[in-house]
Structure 1
Amino acid sequence: MAKSEGTKANLEKKFDINQINRPLKINSPDFESILKEIKRDEYKRRSGNTKENPYYAMELIRKSGLGAIQLPAEFGGSNVSIRDLLYAVIRLAEADPDAAHILRFHYSFVERILRESDSEKSNNKLLEKIASGAIVGNAFAEINHRNVGGQGVFDTTLTPDGEGYRLNGIKYFSTGTLYSDLVAITASTPEGTPVSVIIPTNREGVFLDDDWDGIGQRLTGSGTTRLQNVYVHKEEVNELSDNTTRFSSLLQLYLHAVIAGILRSVVSDAANLVKNRKRTFSFAAAELPREDPQLLQIIGEISSIAFTAESLVLISADAINKASSSAVNGVIDFSLSHHASLLAAQTKVIVDELALKASTLLFDVGGASATKQSAHLDRHWRNIRTIASHNPTVYKARVIGDYKVNGHELPLKKGYL
């Protein structure tokens, strides 16, 4: 074999997922190998200018055990803290922000199960499925979802049918469900009782539409879930309870872990633009862009924003971990949960503004060539803008101010997501 042929063959060598050791450890060589392969796949799909979904990335996540890292050792997991979980999410989002976002509900769902009593966990068959690679999606959001007397009311209905039930309805913003093996669905019984149903996504009558058309995070599968006379077994139904402290700080902070990961990519893309550019402008402070102090200052600012975002996420993650660890039979200490929610809200207020600034500054170091569609650098701003639009910042800032001035506690979240 000629040398050139040997080099080509080596470059095209297929990634062997079977070489990954389990349980997967954060910051291990195996973890880095998985991220590298997911990043390679994301770049390949993006470079093709086609809407090619990250099915391969999700298969790597299943088979490597990345989706099961929260589980205790007896279930084959790594028992990671919430801080380490969100660090892993940041790194995953750096490689592929869609893949990281897809897992938002999955990781939150697992954390909720792990708050249960030891006896409940040991009898929970879902943990066994997750340990074997199952990914859990959600179908919660409805256009007309409302609360009556503090209780969620859903247009999606669960009605008795013989030994089981029939499920009918339409759900929106079902992020990640397109790639999931199981889906958690909220519904109302004929008596108006809110329930949760967990069923396989390939059950007859479950239709997952890949119709999300947002400007960013385009491949997260955040589309419509249609439920047409789906049969549900009795053991797949649980009545929704308000016996836990319903702050949603992990779900909120998770989004900013994804943003922090995107900012890591903004830093590397900005540095590469300046490092590789040869042309400069007549008013430039140096002949080579990589020696231009003004461009270097912008890179330093972008890097500092990325550092700030990641630091805030991890500090807030520690507070969530402390709150979650306080749970007794699933019930979290109120004050610890409130504090964690406050930190998550404060993180959002700062990170949203700085992240959008960083993704705009990226174009200040690249010149007009950075705006070429083939460069795809606009994806960072679009992705950040889309994620930041979850739970508008103005509401978070207002309740933080109300708490600081008037001592009014942050409101409990509405609904069950």
Structure 2
Amino acid sequence: MSTLVAALRPGSAEITALLAEIAADAARRRDAGGTEPPDAAITAIKRLRLGSVRVPESDGGPGWSIAELFDLLIDLAEADPDVPHILRIHYGFVEELYRLPHTERKLAWQREVLRGSLFGGALTELSSKPVGNYDYESTLTAASGGYLLNGRKFYSTGARYGDFIRVTANGPDGAVLSAVVPVDRAGVEHVDDWDGIGQRHTSSGTTVFTDVAVAEAETLPFRDPAAKDRPRQSFPQLYLYAVAAGILRALATDAAALVRGRGRNFVFANTEEPRHDPQLLAVIGELDATAFAAEAVVRAAAVAQEAAFAAARASGVDPELEHAASVQAARAKVALEDVALRAAGRIFDVGGASATRAAAGLDRHWRNLRTLFSHNPAAYKARALGNLRVNGEPLPVAGHF
């Protein structure tokens, strides 16, 4: 089994076929009304064990670099942006497993990753407590052989699609713990009530835990983001912008197809055929350049992620490299958001009123981008970057940086 996984390479025939399969299924589901989730895509990903690409070759994995992973995320997002978003918690969990120190519990989950298992997450709660405050209403109370988990979580990204779900809750002594349990264990209820304007099939809604049995071996210590030996959380932030880059690539493709397929132009236009109209072609060129710029920015920021992860895997977390990676991820967010959202609106400049029809589905690009970018307000990132530039103040040590 590990030999097959290790042979999985970027750009291979298997990856190419998978991307085509996911894109075709996404188009089929859109034509059918867009209510069907991407179950077929997740099944195919599990079959290929794509969740194991960052497992080192020394452990029987493919050993992909961070750059190769981010290229894959962009490709997946071009095919169907819900799909890489579903995998966001999983890939973050894999990175955590391979950072020092190693433990027997981590090794057990590493073996599951190699088998092709996927991990969803349940961290955030809808409560009066500040966002990013690591104090939860969910609890792990002592019980025979371990704990009982009770609580209600929101933004449970990927939970319904995974094999395991990672849940963070307050432990018996007040310390925060992470529990990793099968998604179908008794007492776990997936409400699947996410109703955002975009990224609609990411399973990002509510998960309820009622007296869920958790063994001691199914827990991992929660490391406070303020601790100096804990890696920053810029990886899941940059991850979102990789998804955005894939959306922009799909946007440029759809816009070009829209102009190419139009049979008539406005009476006051430059040419009879829209495909030869220089004004429309200029818009397409802008969208193409925006997609290129987004990919370039994400790839540049991924280099800093690579350095931070390599250090963490080899010798332990390097605070300076972690901070550098956070800076690059924050810059990517601030640089991309406005131009991306503007690009997503400009597709209607080349399509006329018919492009706004619900059947065309072209509004999905803006809705998906707006939803991704709303995870963390850009204004806070811009302020932090400005404070760093002017006053030399490091970025905040928090889960959103």
For residues 78 and 227 of structure 1, what CA distance do their matches in structure 2 show?
35
Partner of 1:217: 199
Partner of 2:178: 196
Amino acid of the structure 2 residue aligned with 1:408:
E
Contact kept? 1:145, 1:154, Cα under 8 Å? no
1:168 and 2:150 matched: yes
Amino acid of the structure 1 residue aligned with 2:322:
S
1:55 and 2:39 matched: yes
Which of 281, 301, 304 is residue 319 of structure 1 equivalent to? 304
Partner of 1:252: 237
Which of 116, 137, 141 is residue 155 of structure 1 equivalent to? 137
For residues 34 and 126 of structure 2, what CA distance do their matches in structure 1 show?
30
Partner of 1:89: 73
Judged with a 3 Å threshold, the aligned counterparts in structure 2 of structure 1 residues 224 and 22 are, in CA distance, closer, same or farther, namely same
Measured after TM superposition, the shift of residue 33 of structure 1 is 0.5
Structure 1 segment 345-356 matched on structure 2, within 5 A: 345-356=330-341
Secondary structure of the equivalent of 2:35?
Answer: coil
Partner of 2:385: 400
Judged with a 3 Å threshold, the aligned counterparts in structure 2 of structure 1 residues 364 and 328 are, in CA distance, closer, same or farther, namely closer
For residues 23 and 182 of structure 1, what CA distance do their matches in structure 2 show?
25
For residues 274 and 343 of structure 1, what CA distance do their matches in structure 2 show?
36
Contact kept? 1:136, 1:180, Cα under 8 Å? yes
Partner of 1:71: 55
Measured after TM superposition, the shift of residue 121 of structure 1 is 7.7
Secondary structure of the equivalent of 1:153?
Answer: coil
Task: Please give the per-residue CA displacement for 1:239-289, whole angstroms capped at 9, x wherever unaligned.
Answer: 212453342111100000000000110010001011111110112111111
Contact kept? 1:113, 1:121, Cα under 8 Å? no
For residues 200 and 45 of structure 2, what CA distance do their matches in structure 1 show?
19
Contact kept? 1:153, 1:192, Cα under 8 Å? no
Measured after TM superposition, the shift of residue 334 of structure 1 is 1.0
Task: Please give the per-residue CA displacement for 1:294-321, whole angstroms capped at 9, x wherever unaligned.
Answer: 1111000000000000000010001011
Partner of 1:234: 216
Partner of 2:269: 284
Contact kept? 2:54, 2:94, Cα under 8 Å? yes
Structure 2 residues without counterparts, runs of 5 or longer: none
Contact kept? 2:90, 2:118, Cα under 8 Å? yes
Secondary structure of the equivalent of 1:185?
Answer: strand
Q: In terms of mean alpha carbon deviation, does 240-249 or 405-414 score higher?
A: 240-249
Measured after TM superposition, the shift of residue 206 of structure 1 is 0.4
1:336 and 2:318 matched: no
For residues 357 and 34 of structure 1, what CA distance do their matches in structure 2 show?
31
Measured after TM superposition, the shift of residue 209 of structure 1 is 1.1
Secondary structure of the equivalent of 2:207?
Answer: strand
Structure 1 segment 299-318 matched on structure 2, within 5 A: 299-318=284-303
TM-score (norm 2): 0.94
Partner of 1:113: 97
Measured after TM superposition, the shift of residue 366 of structure 1 is 0.9
Partner of 1:373: 358
Partner of 1:37: 21
Measured after TM superposition, the shift of residue 330 of structure 1 is 7.3
Partner of 1:140: 123
Structure 1 residues without counterparts, runs of 5 or longer: 1-19
Identity of aligned residues (%): 43
For residues 276 and 181 of structure 1, what CA distance do their matches in structure 2 show?
43
For residues 230 and 199 of structure 2, what CA distance do their matches in structure 1 show?
30
For residues 330 and 238 of structure 1, what CA distance do their matches in structure 2 show?
20
Judged with a 3 Å threshold, the aligned counterparts in structure 2 of structure 1 residues 219 and 330 are, in CA distance, closer, same or farther, namely farther
RMSD of aligned C-alpha atoms? 2.0
Judged with a 3 Å threshold, the aligned counterparts in structure 2 of structure 1 residues 38 and 22 are, in CA distance, closer, same or farther, namely farther
Partner of 2:279: 294
For residues 214 and 300 of structure 1, what CA distance do their matches in structure 2 show?
31
Judged with a 3 Å threshold, the aligned counterparts in structure 2 of structure 1 residues 146 and 134 are, in CA distance, closer, same or farther, namely same
Judged with a 3 Å threshold, the aligned counterparts in structure 2 of structure 1 residues 328 and 178 are, in CA distance, closer, same or farther, namely closer
Measured after TM superposition, the shift of residue 76 of structure 1 is 3.9
1:186 and 2:168 matched: yes
Secondary structure of the equivalent of 1:197?
Answer: strand
- Matched residues, number: 394
For residues 151 and 142 of structure 1, what CA distance do their matches in structure 2 show?
10
Measured after TM superposition, the shift of residue 75 of structure 1 is 4.1
Judged with a 3 Å threshold, the aligned counterparts in structure 2 of structure 1 residues 121 and 324 are, in CA distance, closer, same or farther, namely farther
For residues 64 and 92 of structure 2, what CA distance do their matches in structure 1 show?
13
For residues 50 and 38 of structure 1, what CA distance do their matches in structure 2 show?
14
For residues 330 and 383 of structure 1, what CA distance do their matches in structure 2 show?
38
For residues 277 and 123 of structure 1, what CA distance do their matches in structure 2 show?
55
TM-score (norm 1): 0.90
Task: Please give the per-residue CA displacement for 1:28-55, whole angstroms capped at 9, x wherever unaligned.
Answer: 1211100000111111111100411111
Contact kept? 1:62, 1:135, Cα under 8 Å? yes
Q: In terms of mean alpha carbon deviation, does 122-131 or 184-193 score higher?
A: 122-131
Judged with a 3 Å threshold, the aligned counterparts in structure 2 of structure 1 residues 154 and 21 are, in CA distance, closer, same or farther, namely closer
Measured after TM superposition, the shift of residue 291 of structure 1 is 0.7
